Amino acid sequence: MDLIDSLKGRRLRHIGELTAAEVTGLLDLAQWFRDNKRDKTYLRLCEGMTQGLLFVYESTRTRMAFETAMNELGGANMYMPANLSMTNKGETWADTARAYNRMVQVATLRLWDQSHVDEMAKHLEIPLINACSPQDHTTQVLAQLLTMRQSHGTLKNLRVVYVGMTRGVVHSLMRVCPILGMHLTTACPEAYKFDPTVLADAQARAKAAGTELNLTHDLRAAVKTADVIEGGVLLRSKLAGESLPEEARVIVKDFQVNREILQLAKPGCTFQHSGPIFRGYEMTDDVLDDPASLVWEEAENAKWVKKALIASMLQG
């Protein structure tokens, strides 16, 4: 399976910078990695290279997937919590980027603010991967797409309902679904607002592609035509300890995926969730453990898409 030449050396700030062909190519390559776990073609591709992970808050799946992906390509990892870096003392993101240029071969960033990712991108001379910001979560959404394609056979005309916060995952879904011919409905608490720049971009993409982008606060109505329900974290304080005043207005039970919600959806509808898993909040146990749940498939697929992205960025 060939790597994706157009991604070599890229500084990828958000999923909107990928073409439909690049997204499809990454999914194909990720599937190849998954299907050929013992193949040694790329075993030493990143030998002598280091991935620098700069994370402002904790992670289970994202960190494990990035580190194991790099390890399996023969590379090393340097994990740095942002609060232990000098950005926490006032060093600029530009100067942090200049240090990364001299020390590592790819910068993987999980930052509070998209502007910090953008500032790093301006000064980095090495590949950049946005490992999550409020406006983007490229690799998690690629994992979602791979899981959907595996379970439904195609992405074209697939109807996806996202339920959760208006953070990186949904913003990436809004940008990528139209270029793949997918229809997206977001069922988010009214207390949360979309990033206006991302929303405008997504609406323009949907109009150009002739696909649907529906925004609602009514989960029960939204799921009636769903092929996939993609769950997300509902409370920011559960994710990163960052308590937002908007949370007080979120009625969790109105956005919880339970047995009733799953039965309202189309026959064959599958359930996915990007994690972390907070049982009793975003979903009930009987949904999480149902045969229609592909939560752990998505978690595994996150590694394969990260491996495909790193390999393509660092090839040659």
List, in order of start, the domains of the chain with CATH numbers.
5-136+300-313 (3.40.50.1370), 138-299 (3.40.50.1370)
Query: 24 phi and psi, to 5 degrees?
Result: -60, -40
User: How much is the pLDDT for 238?
Assistant: 66
Residues 6 or more apart in contact with residue 111 via CB below 8 angstroms: 54, 56, 82, 117, 120, 132, 133
User: How much is the pLDDT for 25?
Assistant: 98
Report the distance separating Cα 206 and Cα 174, nearest Å: 9
Report the distance separating Cα 263 and Cα 121, nearest Å: 45
Report the distance separating Cα 276 and Cα 3, nearest Å: 30
Contact 106, 310 (CB under 8 A): yes
User: How much is the pLDDT for 251?
Assistant: 87
Q: Please report how many Cα atoms fall inside a 13 Å half-sphere around the Cα of residue 287, on the Cβ side.
A: 26
Burial 224-236 (b: 16+ CB within 10 A, else e): eebbbbbbbbbbb
User: How much is the pLDDT for 72?
Assistant: 98
- Whether the ω angle into residue 276 lies within 30 degrees of 0, i.e. cis, is yes
Burial 41-58 (b: 16+ CB within 10 A, else e): ebeebbeebebbbbbbee
pLDDT digit string (tens) for the chain, length 316 residues:
899 999 999 999 999 999 999 999 999 999 999 999 999 999 999 999 999 999 998 889 999 999 999 999 999 999 999 888 888 889 999 999 999 999 999 999 999 899 999 999 999 999 999 999 999 999 999 999 999 999 999 999 999 999 999 999 999 999 999 999 999 999 999 999 999 999 999 999 999 999 999 999 999 999 999 999 999 988 876 666 666 777 778 888 999 999 999 999 999 999 999 999 888 889 999 999 999 999 999 999 999 999 999 999 999 7
User: How much is the pLDDT for 242?
Assistant: 64
The residue count of the chain comes to: 316
User: How much is the pLDDT for 250?
Assistant: 83
User: How much is the pLDDT for 243?
Assistant: 67
Q: If residue 224 lies in a helix (H) or strand (E), which one and from where to where? A: none
User: How much is the pLDDT for 230?
Assistant: 98
- What are the angstrom distances between the C-alpha of 224 and each of 260, 261, 268, 269? 11, 9, 12, 10
The answer to whether the Cα torsion of 185, 188, 191, 192 is positive or negative is negative
State the SS3 of 247-282: HHHCCHHHHCECHHHHHHCCCCCEEEECCCCCECCC
